[in-house]
Amino acid sequence: MAHLGPLDDSPLSCDLADGLYPERLGFTSVEPAGTDREIRLDAARTAYRQLGRQIAERYESAVKMSSRQRFGMVDDMWELAAREARAATGDGWGPVVERTSCCFLFALPGCHECGGCPRLARHT
């Protein structure tokens, strides 16, 4: 299991986005971890990917979903979260994440591919 640092016994808060999915966790206090940040990030990435891949494998989609889409979505979410975390800790945003998975926004009436769509990246 990955550890970001010791947490006290205070309750966690979870803000929900408009779509009622978890958007932000809050902690009353967090103490700095004793190990190197890169070591913690590697451990967190490994733990996340292991769980995320299990969820992706078992997800029962209403439409056919390729393994590239399933597992790409796991890696894409890690990269997007890592980018947000870098910015939040003052390390800058870094490069825009080039996604592997597609959000399928283009399939909605009147919509087109989003800016990060891998469908567009193939044509550039």
Both tokens assigned to 83: 């980018």
d(C-alpha 33, C-alpha 31), whole Å: 6
Q: What residue type is assigned to position 72 of the chain?
A: G
pLDDT at 109: 92
Q: What percent of the chain has pLDDT over 70?
A: 89
Comparing 32 with 88, the larger pLDDT belongs to: 88
d(C-alpha 13, C-alpha 28), whole Å: 9
User: pLDDT tens, 72-119?
Assistant: 999 999 999 999 988 988 889 888 888 899 888 888 899 888 877 887
